[in-house]
Every structure is written in structure tokens, then in C-alpha cells.
Amino acid sequence: MSAETIWTNARIRTLDPARPWARAMLVRDGKIVCVGEESDAAAAAGAGARRHDLHGRFLMPGMIDSHTHALWGGRRDLFECFVGYAATLDQLLAAVAARANTLPEGTWIEGGPWRFEHVAQLGDSPRAVLDRIAPRHPVALKDTTQHNLWANSLALSAARISRDSADPHGGRIGRDASGEPDGALFESGATPVRNALVVTSEQNAQAAAYVAKAFHALGITGFKEPMAIESDLATYCAADAAGALNLHVSCHLVRQSPLADDFTPYETLLAWRNAYSRGNIRADCAKLFLDGVAPSLTASFLDPYLPGSGPGYDPARYDADAILQLSPQRICEEVTALDRLGFTVKMHAVGDRAVRAGLDAIEAARAANGESGLRHEIAHTPFVHEDDMPRFRALGAVAEVSPKLWFPNAITAGQIAVLGAERTQRCHPIRSLMAAGAELVYGSDWPAAAPDVDPWIGLSGMLTRRHPNDAYPGSVGPNEAVGLDEALPLFTVNGARAMGREALTGALKPEYSADFIVLDRDLYAIAPEAVAETRVLMTVFSGEVVMERSPQETGP
């Protein structure tokens, strides 16, 4: 491309309220100069401007995923024994056995996912089953949520988990009748196994290259890494410096999580922010975990789980605050301290009690520090009590909706089993949150819960509340469906605002970075179901074409 290009004969959805639609756009040195009619762009262009005729194609800002564990997903696809979210238990175990036959003894086998309905199909403990099919390899298999593991004896031994190991706060070690660990590890109970797994810098570098290519193919030009440690930050910065990433990245630094043994000191977070905020990478956000996930009974709900939801579970003894990863007071203290230090906080909250605790903490931070201008986020927000919906707007908080499962999916059966069908139908109240004035952003949560990072499936499901490919029947909360004009800002302008880049990207307007995509279809001229099949023909980042293919090419 020359330094100056007129993108002409296009149907341009700008996401700029001042001028929602245009036909041409002038880009100079990676920035948008003019958006408007053909004559506007031609008048602003120099004599040497190149013209790129799009022949009526649909053009829009690049997509922004506000919650994706990009390096996790890249490593999963490149190095793990991943069988897909619809795989049967037999398929999963066969894949592990096949991997064990090809790897040197002692090499870790990491993979999954298993679903909670697979537990009853095992016929024995996870440890015993995995010992039989892979006796000479440590094995760690994740569930669909990525919060829980199955491990065999070698993996438990490597992690020093024994009958003498106590259940950590917020986690549990499954045990057989004799008290020995049975290989089922929940939430922080799985942390020792996760810490025993070794990830090399070379694997991270390969994952970053893989992710850049995969994201560009899907039209993603920016994302938020929701759970960054220093090795992640170093990987992103190295890839960005080498020109191999071409993505806006905003990182939430882990202050506390079920995967860590202790809190990351504030001084360390400040050092990471100073060292790794450069180029297209920002490291000025932080992460807290308030609860877990519903299928393992570790999400904190105001109302109890159903009777019989788990071994030893008694609804009469249910204590929502006891399930929280941190006490309500500690959550308030943490958000207040991080707000004072200038970190935008993302709080993992699945149950409605956890969401309320997060909002309470933001309110406490506002009372203690005044208006900092930081727009803290409640991550996931699948279940929100109606009394708490107006608080998002009142507190300037962001409702991040993820994973992209607002339609029937592989996890729905597990939710119904512990929450009931009626409560499951209240999952992801997107329209209700909008009606209450909340600002929402989209997240895939890939590879946790979401089988892929494809935003078009998420967008289609948001419009219909049905599975885009009809793989699972029915719908989830059909009254919470929204229209295309309501949904698109979650994937663009709202995402950019949450990244702190609202004056740089997320819309197509003068002075903004030329981050845009060309599609194979006009989103406004097709049925909502067809949005899921959208293919990106071209992805442009900062004026540079980073992915291009013909309409005839196959692929994601």
C-alpha cells in the first residue's frame, strides 16, 4: 500500500454517531483522514493517492474481544490434546491414550475438555481411569470452564497432592472412600498441578504468532488479556516490537486468582505496568477473582443451588459469602487500593452475589477515592439481580458479557443440573442491562468455556439467543435478544473505550487508527442466523493490510 489510500465504492458502517454510514475513506500514514462520500475523500487526497475499489463490499471497524486468554488458546491449539467441546468421554480418553503412545515417558499430557455429565460415565475415579490409559505420563485434563482438572497419579505426585493435602480456600480436592485424592481437582485445588506444568518462552512465542494470524482471519484488531502474568506481558511486548502481532492489547495483571498461591504485591504490579506498557501493549489494568463457576458449585449466588447438586451439598447450609474467593470487606479494600494506584480492575463474577460484591467494591472505591475516571469491569456477569442492574450506570461500571454463550451450548446441561431451567434462562441479561443504562462489552473468554474465538458466532447468538449452527436446540433468554445496532458497539466502540483507546480505535472517523475489516456480506442485508457464517475478506491494522483473501477461499 502507498502511504495514502482511498478506500472507495464501499458500504461503510462507521460506528461514529455523527456519521453512521459512508461510501469512501481516505487513509494516510496509518490514520483515517476523511470518511464520507467519494468526492470528500478525493478532494482531501493528494495526487499520488492509491484507489482501492471495494466493489460495494461491507466495511466496518475491526472487532475487539474484551476477554480472551489469547496465549492459553494458542497453546491449546498448538500443543495440547484438545478434542472439542462436543466430544464424548470415549473420544477424549482415546485421544489421551493415542498421545501417550507417541510421547516419551514422563512427558506431560495436557488437554480436554471434559464436561460434568462425563463424571457419571467414568465408572471409576478420574485418577484410576487416567492411570489405566496413561500410566507413564502425568496427565492433566481441563473441564469446559478451565476452572477444574482431572489428574492421574503421576500428575498428583508431581504436584505433591496427597491424602494429607488440605483443601485450599475456594477449592477442593476430590477424594475416594479411603480419603486418597481421586484425581478430581476444583478451582484452587487444581493450582498445584497447574504450577507443575512448564510453559517455555518458545511455546509462548509460537502461540502469539498463531493468535495474531487467527485473530486477523476473524477480523479481530484488539483484545483484552484478562489474566496476565509477567511471561505473558513479555511475550506480547516481544511480538509487538517485532511487528508480528498487529493488535491492540490491554492486559489485566493478576493481583489474585485461583491459579496463584498468593497475591501479586502492588509493587510488582506497578513495576510490570512501567516495564510493559509500550507500543500497542497496555498493562494498566488488574484482575481479581470473586467466585468460581456454577457447575462446580463455586459461583456465589444469592439463592442456593438445587438439592442434590453435588456430593455432601446441603441447601440448608448454603452460605453465599463463604463461597466468595475473598471476603466482601477484602474485595472493597482491594478495589479501593487498585483504583488509587490507577489500575482499571476486572473482577471475575459469575453468581449474582459475586456481581453485587463487585459493585459494592466499586462503590466503596468511589467513596474513598472520589471519581478516578477508571471504569472498573465486572467480568462475565451471566447472572445479575434486577436490583443491581441500575448500579452499573450509577457507578460508571462496565458489564463485560462473556463467555459468548448466550445460547444453548455444551455447558447448558451442567447449568440446568445445579441451577434449574428457570434460573438458567436468566443467563446473560444483555437487553435488561442495556435498558438499565449499563455499558456492555463483548468477550469470548476463549479458550475457557468458549470452544473458539469467532466473534461472528457470538454476534449472531446475541441477536437470536439460539445456537447459530443449531447444534443445541431451544434458546436461552429469548427476551434478552438485541438488534444489530445495539450489539455492534459491544464489539467495537465500547471495547475500545474499555481498553482506554476510545480516541484511537473502535470507530471509523478522522484522526483514528485505520483499523477496519471488509466482509463477504452486508450484515444489515441478511438474517441474524447468517451473521454466524460471516467471513472476513480483509483485515487492516493501522493502515496495513494484515490479512487478505478472496471470497472463494475456505477457512474461518
Taking only the tens place, the pLDDT of each residue in 53-70 is 999 999 999 999 999 999
Domain count, the chain: 3
Domain co-membership, 280 together with 174: no
Q: Is residue 555 in some structural domain?
A: no
Q: Is residue 180 in some structural domain?
A: yes
d(CA 212, CA 448): 19
Instruction: Give the pLDDT of residue 555.
Output: 61
**Cell numbers representing residue 491 in the block:** 464489539
Mean pLDDT, the chain, integer: 95
375 — pLDDT class (breaks 50, 70, 90): very high
Residue ranges making up the domain that contains 298 = 201-498
Taking only the tens place, the pLDDT of each residue in 157-193 is 999 999 999 999 888 999 999 999 999 999 889 999 9
Choose one of 196, 222, 256: the last residue of a domain: 196
Domain co-membership, 530 together with 461: no
Domain co-membership, 473 together with 541: no
Average pLDDT on 98-104 reads 95
**Above 90 in pLDDT, residue 496?**
yes
Which of these, 401, 408, 486, 487, lies nearest to 444 by C-alpha position?
401
Q: Is residue 97 in some structural domain?
A: yes
Instruction: Give the pLDDT of residue 116.
Output: 84
Q: Is residue 141 in some structural domain?
A: yes
**Above 50 in pLDDT, residue 124?**
yes
Give the domain CATH number at 43. Answer: 2.30.40.10
Domain co-membership, 460 together with 529: no
Average pLDDT on 413-431 reads 96
Q: Are 479 and 432 in contact (CB under 8 A)?
A: no
Answer with the residue of higher pLDDT: 36 or 471. 36
Give the domain CATH number at 111. Answer: 3.10.310.70
Taking only the tens place, the pLDDT of each residue in 199-220 is 999 999 999 999 999 999 999 9
Domain co-membership, 171 together with 302: no
Domain co-membership, 220 together with 298: yes
Domain co-membership, 171 together with 38: no
Count of other CB atoms within 10 angstroms of residue 425: 18
Domain co-membership, 155 together with 248: no
- The DSSP result for 64-112, as a single string, is EESS--HHHHHHHHHHSEE--TT--HHHHHHHHHHHHHHSPTT--EEEE
Domain co-membership, 242 together with 327: yes
What's the predicted TM-score (pTM) here?
0.93
Domain co-membership, 248 together with 386: yes
Taking only the tens place, the pLDDT of each residue in 230-272 is 999 999 999 999 999 999 999 999 999 887 778 999 999 999 9
Q: Is residue 554 in some structural domain?
A: no
Domain co-membership, 347 together with 477: yes
Choose one of 148, 173, 196: the last residue of a domain: 196
d(CA 304, CA 443): 27
Q: Is residue 328 in some structural domain?
A: yes
Taking only the tens place, the pLDDT of each residue in 288-341 is 999 999 988 999 999 999 999 988 899 999 999 999 999 999 999 999 999 999
Instruction: Give the pLDDT of residue 1.
Output: 46
Instruction: Give the pLDDT of residue 315.
Output: 96
Give the domain CATH number at 444. Answer: 3.20.20.140
Domain co-membership, 37 together with 93: no
Instruction: Give the pLDDT of residue 202.
Output: 97
Torsion of CA 77, 79, 82, 84, to 10 degrees: 10
